[in-house]
Amino acid sequence: MTTTLTDQATVLHCTNLDAGYSTGRPCVRDFNLELKAGEVLALLGPNGAGKTTVLMTLAGLLPSLGGTIDIAGHAVKPGHARHASQAGLVLVPDDRALFTTLTVEENLRLAVTNRKDWPTEKDRILDLFPRLAERLKIPAGALSGGEQQMLAIGRALVQHPTVLLIDELSMGLAPVIVERLLPIVRTVADTTNAAVILVEQHVQLALTVADTALVLRHGTNVLQGNARQLAATPHLIEDAYLGTNEPHHTTADIETAR
């Protein structure tokens, strides 16, 4: 029997989340999200919309200013990155945060919690990213941008995330490289059952691998729905980016607009 997203358990639940950098001055307001295992969410929006702020708050790198974050039924302490990580949430930041003087192999090995698992984890990541097999002894700082992104995602995956956050996968990469990397996000969700939040500026490419999408503008959710339906109604996304639509289009609204 085929398992659908509807059958999957909810692994991330955000309720009325306020996020920002100063107490009493949230730049993301009343953010609500329910994400199921194996689901890929494209988190979209113009620069400054609050996308990275959401990811950093979920990861515990910023304290939430209000609301709750729940991972697989367990409340996450706001502003505690270790607690978020222990709950199964792993962030791939936009700068990739690699140890540039260490080799590819050393970067991966450092992220493995049980040394006995290293051979299996190494094979798993190299199967997913064959290019890294040719670069194992190369310092991370000497890799191309695409190779560094492969390494950053691979390092996250050896931690077996319940929820994987990827911030600006395409940062500094040629479009042809982005086209090769984005389908791997889909493969990761399908094979590991991890939920994925993908922040991406290549909107149409992101929608091809996502199940659902959400558009932020000025810290507010202004559009949310099925990724395939949104891809077929690009004018709704354009309106959401430019601020010419009514907030919170639903799937029914999207169907009506087609």
SS (H, E, C) the chain: CCCCHHHCCEEEEEEEEEECCCCCCCCEEEEEEEEECCCEEEEECCCCCCHHHHHHHHCCCCCCCEEEEEECCEECCCCCHHHHHHCCEEEECCCCCCCCCCEHHHHHHHHCCCHHHHHHHHHHHHHHCHHHHCCCCCEHHHCCHHHHHHHHHHHHHCCCCCEEEEECCCCCCCHHHHHHHHHHHHHHHHHHCCEEEEECCCHHHHHHHCCEEEEEECCEEEEEEEHHHHHCCHHHHHHHHHCCCCCCECHHHHHHHC
110 shares a domain with 198: no
29 shares a domain with 156: no
204 shares a domain with 155: no
Averaged pLDDT for residues 191-217? 96
81 shares a domain with 134: no
80 shares a domain with 52: yes
Separation of CA 94 from chain center? 11
Domain boundary among 160, 181, 209: 160
User: What does the alpha-carbon distance between residue 192 and residue 157 come to, in Å, rounded to a whole number?
Assistant: 9
Q: Specify if 93 maps to a domain.
A: no
Domain boundary among 160, 183, 203: 160
Terminal-residue alpha carbon distance, the chain: 32
pLDDT of residue 242 exceeding 50: yes
209 shares a domain with 199: yes
pLDDT tens track for 83-93 = 999 999 999 99
245 shares a domain with 126: no
Q: Specify if 94 maps to a domain.
A: no
**Domain total of the chain:** 2
208 shares a domain with 105: no
Averaged pLDDT for residues 2-24? 85
pLDDT tens track for 158-188 = 999 999 999 999 998 998 999 999 999 999 9
Q: Which pLDDT belongs to residue 101?
A: 97
Q: Which pLDDT belongs to residue 20?
A: 93
Max mean pLDDT among 67-81, 186-200, 236-250 falls in 186-200
Mean pLDDT score across all residues of the chain: 91
Largest distance between two CA atoms of the chain: 55
Q: Which pLDDT belongs to residue 2?
A: 47
235 shares a domain with 186: yes
Structural domain boundaries enclosing 176: 5-88+161-257
- For the whole prediction, is pTM greater than 0.85? yes
Max mean pLDDT among 19-23, 69-73, 207-211 falls in 207-211
126 shares a domain with 81: no
123 shares a domain with 168: no
Q: Which pLDDT belongs to residue 245?
A: 59
Averaged pLDDT for residues 12-41? 94
Q: Specify if 64 maps to a domain.
A: yes
